Amino acid sequence: MTATRKRIALLAATAALGSVLVAPVTAVAADGSADSGVSAQAYSCTIKNVGGKKQAGYYSGNTVVPSSSRVTKAGIEAQCILKDMGYPTGTVDGVFGSKSKNAMKQFQTGVNAHYGRHVLDVDGLPGSKSWPYLRVFW
């Protein structure tokens, strides 16, 4: 059987079983290096208080801006925290797309309203100024 026929047979068998083949997506780790341990999928979120800060266990820093085109640990972390606070991020998949950015804008607007002044830029991205506010237990 040729390689092409094998692939077609595998796809047909997979479709008949009702499952989907998902190719892993190479992601970027919090430090910017390639991280093959993270792939496109829905991640579970359990927020913990670690030293007085919210953490979901995927990224513990305060500086990495999640990517809108690939899975990152920072993206998973930010989505988990936003979702825990009731902001609609969509699926927690580590890709910081339009729903996640809109949720972040709502959060940043809320922080500014809470303090009654401009504290955070409302840009929809968790950067070095927004991360500390995301991590605070309100």
Task: Tell me the mean pLDDT per 10 residues along the chain, length 138.
Answer: 48 40 40 45 89 93 94 95 93 94 97 95 96 88
Residue 42 has what pLDDT?
86
Kindly state whether residue 6 falls inside one of the protein's structural domains.
no
Kindly state whether residue 18 falls inside one of the protein's structural domains.
no
Kindly state whether residue 130 falls inside one of the protein's structural domains.
yes
Residue 138 has what pLDDT?
65
Contact 85, 107 (CB under 8 A): yes
Kindly state whether residue 15 falls inside one of the protein's structural domains.
no
Residue 32 has what pLDDT?
40
This prediction's pTM: 0.71
Kindly state whether residue 13 falls inside one of the protein's structural domains.
no
Per the structure, the count of domains in the chain is 1
Chain centre distance of CA 12:
32
Kindly state whether residue 101 falls inside one of the protein's structural domains.
yes
Closest by CA to 32, choosing from 9, 64, 69, is 64
Residue 75 has what pLDDT?
96
Kindly state whether residue 14 falls inside one of the protein's structural domains.
no
According to DSSP, residue 76 is labeled: H
Query: Which domain covers residue 45, as residue numbers?
Result: 23-135
Residue 38 has what pLDDT?
53
Buried b / exposed e along 78-112 (16+ C-beta atoms within 10 A): bbbbbbebebebeebbbbbbebbbebbbbbbebbe
